[in-house]
Structure 1
Amino acid sequence: MSRGRVETWLIPQNHGPSAVTDATVRLRWSAPVADTRWLPPMCVRAGARTVLCRTGALPADSRGGRIRVPVQLAGAPSEVTVRIDTMWSGGSADHNPQNSTHKVLALDTGDVYYF
């Protein structure tokens, strides 16, 4: 994060046991999003602080393609929390729903965070 501009990169993963025909992940920031003009075509704004992104098909025990979600936050806050969670998975059973939600605090330092 730098001056309110946040780039979130994620790689969806399906641990199985079944393939997922498509899924939707939700990204929610603790600050309002001011600008989403750089969103990739598989993502849409879904509220003042929320973006939804399709993952595409995820075969069992595989990873999907990298999804880059750049946004500009309103007011250029000094820190922001982003929550990433599975919103929809095409009706597939999830035997470990604890790995479907992530929360990261990013500070306005320009540093890159991995989790």
Structure 2
Amino acid sequence: MEVVTVAVCRGVVRIVVALGLVLAGAAAQTGAAQAGVVPAGAGVERAGAGAVRAGAGAVRADAWRAPEADVSYRGRVKLSAGRLAVWVVPENQGPAPLANTTLRLRFSAALADGQELAEGCARAGQREVMCETGALPAHGPGRHIGLRLWLKERPSEVVVRVDTWWNGGANDRNHANDEHTVLALDTGDSYSF
């Protein structure tokens, strides 16, 4: 008899807890609507300039919007006698400033061990280096990033791929200016992007 009573009591407790959660959720949604909080989750999207359509859940109307920015890169690549020089200037075309972004450089040739990299840069593999750009103002350049890299072998050419690994959570609609592929021949000439 005790086993049945305990099972019934546990079932009643679960029902009461579930009902309490449902009622608390309804009260929270009512309070949220009065406080200017928009339900979110499924179906949250822009409905025009500043307007939002709602789904299920609850977040502030402006919390889901990422800053609008346009990260871009320009620079040069030079290959000479197994040594690769890369110079990059990150820029932000705006309209919002960014606190930091991460530039990714990938190479078709393996890097030698024991590289000395610029401040804010780290190896991410045999053929990859990541560099933080630092703050990018709304309409202007960031800090210049210069790398002198030794390659494991002495290739006649190296392909360098430049792109953004992380953009600070910004909404960047133009990737034509932050994704570059550069072929550098072992001539000592600079190849611009």
Shorter chain as denominator, the TM-score bin is: over 0.9
Residue matched to 1:104: 182
> What does residue 37 of structure 1 align with?
115
Deviation of 1:14 (Å): 0.5
**Contact 2:115-2:150 at 8 Å conserved across structures:** no
Whether 1:51 and 2:129 are equivalent positions in the alignment is yes
Larger deviation, residues 39-48 vs 27-36: 27-36
Of 50-59 and 88-97, the range deviating more from structure 2:
88-97
Q: Which amino acid aligns with 2:96?
A: S
What is the match of residue 7 of structure 1? 85
> Tell me, which stretches of 5 or more residues in structure 1 are unaligned?
none
Structure in which a larger fraction of residues adopt helix: 2
Match of 1:20 in 2: 98
1:34–1:73: 8 Å Cα contact kept in structure 2?
yes
Q: Which runs of 4+ in 1 moved over 4 A?
A: none
Secondary structure of 2:105's partner? strand
1:93 aligns with 2:176: no
What's the C-alpha RMSD, in Å, of the aligned pairs? 1.1
1:67-86 to structure 2, matched below 5 A, reads 67-86=145-164
Higher alpha-carbon Rg: 2
Q: 1:36 to 1:114 in 2, by over 3 A?
A: farther
Q: Which amino acid aligns with 2:126?
A: A
Secondary structure of 1:81's match?
Answer: strand
Bigger share in strand:
1
Q: Does 1:64 align with 2:142?
A: yes
> Deviation per CA, 1:52-98, whole angstroms, max 9, x where unpaired?
00000001111012100111111110000000001101101102122
The match for 2:31 is none
Higher relative contact order (CA 8 A, sep 6+): 1
Q: Say which SS state the counterpart of residue 177 (structure 2) adopts.
A: helix
CA distance in 2, matches of 1:27, 1:97: 15
The count of residues paired between Structure 1 and Structure 2 equals 115
After the TM superposition, which of the residue ranges 45-54 and 28-37 deviates more from structure 2? 28-37
Q: Identity of aligned pairs, percent?
A: 50
In the alignment, the residues of structure 1 paired with residue 114 and residue 94 of structure 2 have an alpha-carbon distance, to the nearest angstrom, of 32
For residues 31-61 of structure 1, the C-alpha deviation after alignment (integer angstroms, 9 at most, x for no partner) is 1111452311210000010000000000111
